[in-house]
Amino acid sequence: MNAEVAAAPTAPEKKEFWRWQENVWVDETKDWKTAKVVTCGIDVGSVSSQAVLVVDGELYGFNSMRTGNNSPDSAKNALQGVMDKCGMKLEDIHYVVGTGYGRVNVPFAHKAITEIACHARGANYMGGNGVRTILDMGGQDCKAIHCDEKGKVTNFLMNDKCAAGTGRGMEVISDLMQIPIAELGPRSFDVDVEPEAVSSVCVVFAKSEALGLLKAGYTKNKVIAAYCQAMAERVVSLLERIGVEEGFFITGGIAKNPGVVKRIEKLLGIKAMDTKIDSQIAGALGAALFGYTLMSKKAAA
């Protein structure tokens, strides 16, 4: 590849409560220049985009940022961010795999792979080969996935109709309550009594219901708790359709919200596995690992 990835312009946005932490990271203990194979995974989701670099099959760096109006630009910006951090150029990367809803719009990708397969592969790396059930709580949809010890999908389900009760919904509640998104989870436990779940996690209805609860005297924390509970109940009903096996792992932005995660764990009676790696990069990480496998197969042939 010799095309340059030029950073696409991004319009400055004013600080808002829903804005989650964008993140760029590289593993300073590794030197990509000595690596045999450098692969990249790009996950262009409806709300966030990630670029992950894998060197010789190991996570090396990533960039996680908000998706802009245009998928190719989001892919370019995400990749440029992490390449700048480590002085890499596009031609230094041997293979690029695109995933996420915008996967076919990653102009420099060699292959597109669905986010279902990529999340399973990423979760297998992040949580180890004991991971069997994955819940991906993305920006606008949720997926329940079973995988084997190699991270290969054995069963999956996603709700194709309603995008409610996901990352975007949390952003709306955060803005409505005027509370930074990272504080929603901890605040949801700061209530006198645990409230009933709001009846709808649909972004539109939840907004009017939340306002109604505030008027009825609910504290903000209690409204947030009711919303977190609704979201947990909703994803648990999705998970129950395919069943939950030990080795339960949550990927996607909502994995960072203990208000939802702890309620899911309570409903299921099972604890989610821990990881030190940012849960939002699971799809892009899986894509980069697929790239590594494809390169290894090619080299062996």
Partner 1 sequence: MIANYGYKDGSGEYYISIDTDKCIGCAADRACLTACPKQMFEIITDDYDDEVAWIKKPNCRTLAYDCADCKPSGGYSSLPCIAACTPGAIKHSW
Side chain identity at residue 262, one-letter code: K
Using CB under 8 A, which residues numbered 112 to 131 contact partner 1? 113-114, 116-117
Which of 152, 190, 211, 298 is in the footprint of partner 1 by CB under 8 A? Answer: 152
Whichever of 21 and 237 has its CB closer to partner 1, that residue is 237
Task: List the one residue from 31, 154, 186, 212 that touches partner 1 (CB under 8 A).
Answer: 154
- Which of 94, 143 has the CB closer to partner 1? 143
Burial 44-79 (b: 16+ CB within 10 A, else e): bbbbbbbbbbbbebebbbbbbbbbbeebebbbbbbb
148's CB contacts (< 8 A; 6+ apart) are 132, 154
Considering only CA atoms, give the Rg of the chain: 19
**Could you say which of 15, 161, 215, 276 contacts partner 1 (CB under 8 A)?**
161
Nearer to partner 1, 161 or 276 (CB): 161
| Cα of 300 vs its chain's centroid, Å | 32
Q: How far is CA 113 from the centre of its chain?
A: 16
Kindly state the smallest distance separating residue 297's Cβ from partner 1, in Å.
Answer: 11
In 3-state terms, the chain is what percent helix, strand and coil (to 5)? 45, 20, 40
Q: Is 238 a residue that touches partner 1 (CB under 8 A)?
A: yes
Instruction: Let me know: does 102 contact 114? Beta carbons within 8 Å.
Output: no
Question: Total number of residues binding partner 1 (CB under 8 A)?
Answer: 20
CB nearer to partner 1: pick between 103 and 187: 103
Q: Is 133 in the site for partner 1 (CB under 8 A)?
A: no
State CA 61 to chain mean position distance. Answer: 16
* 28: Cα within 13 Å, side-chain hemisphere: 1
Look at phi and psi of residue 221 and say left if phi exceeds 0, alpha if psi is from -120 to 50, else beta.
alpha
Residue 296 interacts with partner 1 (CB under 8 A): yes or no: no
β-partners of residue 145 are 134, 156
| Host H or E run for residue 215 | helix 203-215
Minimum distance from CB of 238 to partner 1 (Å)?
A: 7
d(CA 184, CA 225): 8
Contacting residue, 108, 125, 156, 249, with partner 1 by CB under 8 A:
156
Of these, 24, 90, 153, 270, which contacts partner 1 (CB under 8 A)? 153
Among 1, 90, 162, 172, binds partner 1 (CB under 8 A): 162
User: Does residue 242 touch partner 1 according to CB under 8 A?
Assistant: yes
CB nearer to partner 1: give 196 or 205: 205
Chain-centre distance of CA 132, in angstroms?
18
Between 70 and 200, name the residue whose CB sits nearer to partner 1. 200
Helix (H, G, I), strand (E, B) or coil at 277: coil
Which one of the spans 32-40, 54-62, 101-109, 146-154 is the region binding partner 1 (CB under 8 A)?
A: 146-154
Please report how close the Cβ of residue 154 comes to partner 1 at its closest, in angstroms. 6
The residue behind tokens 């989610």 is 272
Whichever of 120 and 177 has its CB closer to partner 1, that residue is: 120
> Binding mask 265-294 vs partner 1 (x if CB under 8 A, - otherwise)?
-------------------------x----
CA gap 155, 147 in Å, rounded: 7
Binding footprint of partner 1 on the chain (CB under 8 A): 113-114, 116-117, 152-162, 237-238, 241-242, 290
